[in-house]
Chain A
């Protein structure tokens, strides 16, 4: 089967990219989704807080997904559900499989990768001890509870102050379980402040900052965990501070990893910092005509930002198919420093930007009042005041594109300057 555009992944990123490409004149579009319905992980996120930016109202995950499902229903966009992409060839032929059609090929002029991310597991962080039942990643527990209607445990301890961990703490309490605490290695929350308030404070669930779970024990089911204090700076466990807590369940919310097995398979360049593809201002990867967006590029906190980024990818995929993307200059690349851990896109050509340019970034530590400073060759191009920066909240820095006018092949520096120093 031939399509102009094939989108891999029918979550919020894939649907937004497909719709935007459609609205930009590309009618022959396929979305390949491995689950039995579109929506991706939103379908199990039954809490609210989605859509404040995109729809200016507060929706649940399934509601947010449904808006996009409905919008795609009014188009000729074709879904392949319960279908997995086995392989992508250099000529943009995708080998896919499902139980109805077996193995077949989809030929595309352009591809959007929107596979999302997966959760880091216990082994990814190396917690010692036994391997009994009752240890879940927060997302797996969320699926059991919200999709399957099955409860995962009675007395629960949660590791990780990310959003899913906090949301699941509240969910466990709402289902009649007890949450001993949310244990956070860092001295600050890794998730959104609103979740600290709405999920933990409102339910009197304690957050133990600068602590870590250092052992999980139990022969069959989890019987206890050992929690220790960590040094605030180095995060190293402080010997002698270990305490045991009896519990039957451990939920791990210890990070998300963009799922780029397919991207690697086709040889797309991956950024070690984001674990996602290196992308241009068009969200194009190192492979021409292959775009990427959403959590497969870098992990977002808000689905609204995923949608915005994916619209960009969809629009540019449409331009690419129509032969309207220009690449006549050397792209400029970002080099981040001073507490910034990355910037997306990784490179850009000023002539392809609109009036405004959104740069998405994360810091690796907490900053109070500070400036984000953009430079080129020692020259300051812009200085943007920020009241507060924390690793838990993605920074969206919108700058006027004019500051980069005429630049090509330059290294653009971005750094954080605490206000006190000025």
Chain B
């Protein structure tokens, strides 16, 4: 019997797991994916929003404004790259300039520091490639960019290092209320827990409905993106948004924390909650939207198109509460944007709910908040030399585009949450994230995986269960 079971190993579930792993609790995280960070958290704009956008008084406003300042310490503790690069909302018409004023007021009410409406001259100083047709922009110095995949993975790793259990490929079929709590039923076995936290992303309404009357619903909304080569990053230093409209924050241009350029997303209702397909029509809209912000941007150097699904709640706000007719069942649902930015604050908010619903929270003395990860190319020459001497595998580059060494890849296979697929390795230490998209390093990473895991080449999958790469040996 677990004290707490968390359904969902996205950034929200992971952040909650890590916060709860500070306490003397028997904790488990389950996820239907073949890896942690397999849903919304792996396919988004990777932006830590300043917090001027949500309506004051909403949970989104509260948790975005509280979450944003937590990133510096959190990312330092977890060795996750984070860059507080700032952001601009760009207005092109007088009407949009009025919108900037509304956003500024909202931001002030939300307690967001440093917001300022700047003229086009100031915008072009910071973003020389931005459209000179802009009239003004709302500058938010506290916005940032983060690696959401590494953040989620490191949060989960840290929870596991501090005693949490986790199960992957665990699709929840049903949840049964018992005298002592809940039994989660799945083909992958039952999990019994006193308290259940529903952080199931686009499936959170379905999970909720397993134990309680439907009182909200999730509309899956797909967002499609371009990821451009680093050679394009002279055109963007930070994050440029258009003026928001009823469909959300709009199609943005951002420089990712790794120096790529991200263009997107669209925002379209999609019936299939697992859909991550892209379409020419939607990507054309992305192209058009971005060229308004940065006229010289081209997708000639696109290295990847991708799409992610967002959980749009019918309530218009995050749904985070103990469910009325299901004691100790906590919804953390409808976490759309700014969910990533809010995640650290959501975790603290949920810890309070856990406490209030009668779970004793006794701190663990031995809690260790630190996750270390070696990024070879970021070490000093002296450190690099020492590391290669100690472990020659760090002297062998496997991914020539991103310059990832064999040592880093092997490390990922043997960490608290082992990376056992090609994409899991790619999400954590980036071989295949570059311009050749794994054309050169794919077979080499494949070989390393098979060797380290002691399995056949054909048993290694790309990502999900069933995503086999090879059919067997040649004749």
Residues of A whose CB lies within 8 Å of any CB of B are 34, 82, 84, 86, 97-103, 118-119, 121-124, 126, 128-134, 137, 139-140, 143-145, 147-154, 174-176, 214, 217, 219-221, 261, 264
Contacts known (A119-B439, A220-B467); A97 close to B475, Cβ less than 8 A: no
B contact residues, range = 35 or more
The residue that B397 contacts in the complex, of A97, A122, A140, A147, with Cβ under 8 A, is A97
> Does B277 lie within 8 Å of A128, measured CB to CB?
yes
Cross-chain pairs A/B with CB under 8 angstroms, 30 sampled: A34-B397, A86-B403, A97-B388, A97-B395, A99-B395, A102-B384, A102-B385, A102-B388, A121-B303, A122-B437, A123-B227, A123-B304, A124-B303, A126-B305, A128-B283, A132-B467, A133-B462, A133-B463, A137-B439, A140-B440, A140-B443, A143-B443, A145-B474, A148-B447, A150-B458, A151-B471, A152-B471, A219-B274, A221-B467, A261-B401
Contacts known (A118-B435, A137-B439, A221-B466); A84 close to B400, Cβ less than 8 A: yes
> Does A140 lie within 8 Å of B438, measured CB to CB?
yes
> Does A129 lie within 8 Å of B439, measured CB to CB?
no
Contacts known (A97-B388, A99-B396, A140-B442); A153 close to B471, Cβ less than 8 A: yes
Q: In the complex, which residues of chain B have a beta carbon less than 8 angstroms from the beta carbon of A219?
A: 274, 464, 466
Question: Is B279 at the interface (CB under 8 A from chain A)?
Answer: yes
Question: Is B122 at the interface (CB under 8 A from chain A)?
Answer: no
> Does A151 lie within 8 Å of B384, measured CB to CB?
no
The residue that A121 contacts in the complex, of B306, B406, B439, with Cβ under 8 A, is B439
Q: In the complex, which residues of chain A have a beta carbon less than 8 angstroms from the beta carbon of B396?
A: 82, 98-99
| Inter-chain pairs besides A118-B435, A131-B276, A133-B469, 4 sampled, C-beta below 8 Å | A98-B395, A130-B276, A140-B438, A152-B470
Contact flags B423-435 to A (C-beta < 8 A → 1, else 0): 0000000000001
A415 to B137, CA, bound (A): 50
> Does A103 lie within 8 Å of B305, measured CB to CB?
no
Contact flags B48-88 to A (C-beta < 8 A → 1, else 0): 00000000000000000000000000000000000000000
Q: In the complex, which residues of chain B have a beta carbon less than 8 angstroms from the beta carbon of A99?
A: 388, 392-396, 406
A228 to B465, CA, bound (A): 31
> Does B436 lie within 8 Å of A121, measured CB to CB?
yes
The residue that B280 contacts in the complex, of A100, A128, A139, A221, with Cβ under 8 A, is A128
Q: In the complex, which residues of chain A have a beta carbon less than 8 angstroms from the beta carbon of B246?
A: none
Question: Is B210 at the interface (CB under 8 A from chain A)?
Answer: no
Instruction: Please name the residue on chain A nearest to B464 by beta carbon.
Output: A220
Q: Give B373 Cβ to nearest chain A Cβ, in Å.
A: 20
Q: In the complex, which residues of chain B have a beta carbon less than 8 angstroms from the beta carbon of A103?
A: 381, 384-385, 388, 395
Instruction: Please name the residue on chain A nearest to B301 by beta carbon.
Output: A124
> Does B461 lie within 8 Å of A175, measured CB to CB?
no
> Does A128 lie within 8 Å of B278, measured CB to CB?
yes
Q: Give B275 Cβ to nearest chain A Cβ, in Å.
A: 8
Q: Give A152 Cβ to nearest chain B Cβ, in Å.
A: 6
Q: In the complex, which residues of chain B have a beta carbon less than 8 angstroms from the beta carbon of A137?
A: 439
> Does B470 lie within 8 Å of A121, measured CB to CB?
no
Q: Give A122 Cβ to nearest chain B Cβ, in Å.
A: 7
Question: Is B472 at the interface (CB under 8 A from chain A)?
Answer: yes
Question: Is B302 at the interface (CB under 8 A from chain A)?
Answer: yes
